Chain A
Amino acid sequence: MKPKTIANCTRSLVKGGAKNGIRLGARGIHEFRTAKISFGNSVGSCEAVLLPGTRVFAQASAAIGEPSDSRPGEGAFTISVWVSPAATGEMVGSSEKPSAIARTLERMFKENRAVDLESLCIKFGELAWILRVDVHVIEMNGCLQDTAALAVLGALLTFQRPQAEIDVNTDELVVLPLAECTPVELHLFHLPAVMSFALCDEILLAEPCQEEEDILPGKLLVGINDSKELCHLHLTHPIEQELLLEATKLAQAQCLDRLNMLKGLVEEVKTQREVPIYKRPQGPRATGTVLSLSALETSSRNRSEKKPSIKYLSPLITASDINMLEELCIL
């Protein structure tokens, strides 16, 4: 990727301003950006915006698949990041940017075990929910990691999956439709968020915009969760210890604010989404004719087959399916 050309006068403006505590966009040097979060119609979709001008969309989805050999009792969790050329005006598909964002998210959500993967196990060693989050960068103006982490967290918090269990008698996988069961939410052990800082000669600039990120020499990422634990640190420029500690303090306060806001919004969405009982389809719950997806996909399947075969089940339920089911059954 070609480095962006930046005018010398812009350089000196941003650098000189930073030294005097003045920033582009009239923010104070320790003032964070305003976050806006909205949720989509389908479950587990979330769009986070950090004003001005960074917009990231995340969609969580789950399918039933085989757990990995090394962790047979757990579901899987993958995060993929796509930076659209619309956001940058150039193709960055294979460049370092998407993979750097993906690594940050992976560290925070996966390696620190934010999501309870054990609860995603359906049958030990054979069937488990495969959770994936697709992150799309739609608009880019610095602080990609901050925005992306927020969007992913929003998506995970509002995600719901149908109940799936193994029928004890037939040893068959039964996926209950959302209308007939209480949708299962993901269990998160902790809620991480990340705050970025630009570094310029002993000065911290909270959540820089794109120009500040490009011009100022250093960048510091601080990831903190809701119980004030650090979960990610990344540094690209030498920094004094005091400055670092100051940054973590600032990040901690801001992170708690932001997480509280997110939690409030998530609660709102959940109450909106709850379907009143009288709207549910009438009639007794027919356990014998539950929507067993394996039966749906192939009616001629040999029922006496012991092991639930993945072949018929593979691209089972995605968020859009759930949405569709919801429309079919509920409305």
Chain B
Amino acid sequence: MAYRTHLDDLWEQQIRPDGRTPHELRNITCQMGIFHPQASGSASFNIGNTKVMAAVYGPHEVRSSQKKHHNPDKMIINCEYSSATFSSNERKSSTKADRKSMEISSNLRSVMEHIIIPDIFPGSQIDVYVELLQDDGGSYSACINAATLALVDAGIPIRDYAVAITATMSHSVCMVDINAQERGQCAELTIGVLAQSNEIIVLELANLLQNFYLKDVLDEGIKGCAAIYKILEEAVRQKFNKMEQSLV
């Protein structure tokens, strides 16, 4: 029990088990164009030990399987999320898509449909593929950030960045960016916002959260999203500055 007391001591000074303060994010690295030139756009987003890669293919011709139901004035946005068999601590024994990943795929598609300018390429299809390599908490939010970066990298016109982060309330303190260790003990609310308008676009809740706390947790999450947005934008600027220089 000595170990727990040690953590409790830390918590009294508002230090989380991994040494962060409640409002601190884990270390974030992101990279664009990792699958250049095969994919039209690609990006990786690592937050702490959570690692996600995303690739965007298109816009290209609609694939024959979907042509039947397709309205030629519309654009198809296709998303597929998959998690590697080694991504979690407990090994997954099959590569087949389960209900959980199908849910994430369809949620991701609805987010992408909102940020991509609608029907700007009529009669075409955009594929967004997201692969989770390692899960250490906040994987869904990392997927959204990676997919946004990959869209930017592919040069697909978007209205706004979708950025996401997890937040929670524990011991009446709001915390941002929950890792896998903390996830077991408290609720985990994934919040995604459109970066410019601050409108909420993603909400997913795991475990129970007092309704009373929702406002505070949302505020905390939106603050976290703003921090992520800064990092994403910095990555984009860096990449396109480099491109500009190489053109000159």
Contact = CB atoms under 8 A, between A and B. Distances in A.
Interface of A: 2, 70, 96, 99-100, 102-103, 106-107, 111-112, 190, 220, 223-225, 228-241, 244-245, 248-249, 252
B200 A238 contact: yes
A103 B99 contact: yes
Given A102-B99, A103-B99, A238-B197, A233 B205 contact: yes
A21 B114 CA distance: 26
Chain A interface main SS type: mixed
Contacts of A102: 99
30 contacts: A70-B90, A96-B102, A99-B99, A102-B99, A103-B99, A103-B100, A107-B206, A111-B206, A111-B207, A112-B207, A223-B205, A228-B211, A230-B208, A230-B209, A230-B214, A231-B208, A233-B189, A233-B205, A235-B202, A236-B110, A239-B200, A240-B200, A241-B215, A241-B218, A241-B222, A244-B200, A244-B203, A244-B214, A248-B214, A252-B211
Chain B interface main SS type: mixed
A236 B209 CA distance: 20
A48 to B, nearest CB: 23
Contacts of A190: 208
A238 B201 contact: yes
B106 interface: yes
Contacts of A252: 211
A235 B203 contact: yes
Nearest to B189: A233
Contacts of A235: 200-203
Contacts of B222: 241
A240 B14 CA distance: 31
Contacts of B211: 224, 228-230, 248-249, 252
Given A2-B69, A102-B99, A238-B194, A232 B205 contact: yes
Interface string B200-233: 1111111111111011001000100000000000
Contact of B203 (A96, A234, A240): A234
